[in-house]
Amino acid sequence: MKKLVVFNWKMNPSSFQKAKKLFDFSLKQSRKLSAHLSVVIAPPFVYLEHFFYLLNSKFKKEKGISLAAQNVSFKNEGSFTGEISAKMLKDIGVSYVIVGHSERRYLFGENDSLIAEKIKRAWENKITPILCVGEKKRSSFSSAWSFVRKQIEKDLVFLKKREKNLVIAYEPVWSIGGNKPVDSLRASLMIEKIKSFLKERFHLLLPVLYGGSVDCQKIDDFLKYSQIDGFLVGSASLSLREIKCLLTKVDNF
Ligand code: PGA
């Protein structure tokens, strides 16, 4: 399976100038990669359209990077102040959307039924959802798996057999945004569990990524496990040095 690296910039950087520098650099790096690795960048909404034009000029279509939104509305249009729909995202060339990220779940109170609706809107508009799941606290493998399984069951209630437009990211919440990644063997076992569950239940073979404190140093441990189809990277995706190093390592593995 092709590897996928998703850069989630979250609410960074603070100016368009800085965002463009980061994007241009990531684009330059992506041109050097083999066809086995795809790069997805999820910038804040306000930069998406500009980046789409950078990728699709009159003279050249860049293939190395796809765009993701960090959020999407559960509705397609109407009186929903502050919301942005999947239809609008599709219209400006967005290919993926991150749904169910723990920051949306726990800071903005998004529950599983809302997440399920958002995923449905993405499918209706031919956008691939990247569904984030993961246990909240450090716990035994079996209780973490039971938590993750329930999240998957609830978030994917609209999933039909043969729906291939879906990526899952396993992100133990306690491992996000710091220096505390989960043990790589445990992450790979959880990813294997998620894959076999999706296979049994829906007859689907889907890419499952790992996310949580991934940086250029820690990634070596995770790359050993072929079950891990790629990475969802937060903080490290804001550093030029890290971007270069991460992409080179994943590509050369
Ligand atoms: P992190 O974030 O790489 O900074 O831990 C990952 C994420 O929130 O998706």
Instruction: Kindly give the confidence (pLDDT) of every residue in the chain, 253 residues in length, as a single tens digit, with 9 standing for 90 and above.
Output: 789 999 999 999 999 999 999 999 999 999 999 999 999 999 999 999 999 999 998 778 888 899 999 999 999 999 999 999 999 999 999 999 999 999 999 999 999 999 999 999 999 999 999 999 999 998 999 999 999 999 999 999 999 877 889 999 999 999 998 777 789 999 999 999 999 999 999 899 999 999 999 999 999 999 999 999 999 999 999 999 999 999 999 999 8
Index of the ligand 1 atom closest to the CA of residue 235: 4
Say what the pLDDT of residue 10 is.
Answer: 98
CA distances from 217 to 30, 93, 214, 223, 236 (A): 20, 33, 8, 11, 11
Q: How far is the CA of 250 from the centre of ligand 1 (A)?
A: 17
Say what the pLDDT of residue 57 is.
Answer: 81
Q: How far is the CA of 187 from the centre of ligand 1 (A)?
A: 15
Domain ranges of the chain: 3-252
CA distances from 45 to 19, 68, 85, 95 (A): 12, 9, 11, 13
Say what the pLDDT of residue 62 is.
Answer: 86
Q: Which of 177, 176, 181, 168 is nearest to 228 (CA)?
A: 168
* Catalytic center residues: 101, 171
DSSP notation for 109-148? ---HHHHHHHHHHHHHTT-EEEEEE--SS---HHHHHHHH
- The CATH superfamily assigned to 3-252 is Aldolase class I (3.20.20.70)
- Of 209, 213, 239, the residue with max ligand 1 atoms within 8 A of its CB, to mutate for a pocket test, comes to 213
Q: How far apart are CA 6 and CA 8, in angstroms?
A: 6
Q: How far apart are CA 53 and CA 141, in angstroms?
A: 45
pTM recorded for the entire structure:
0.96
Alpha carbon of residue 168 to chain centroid: 8
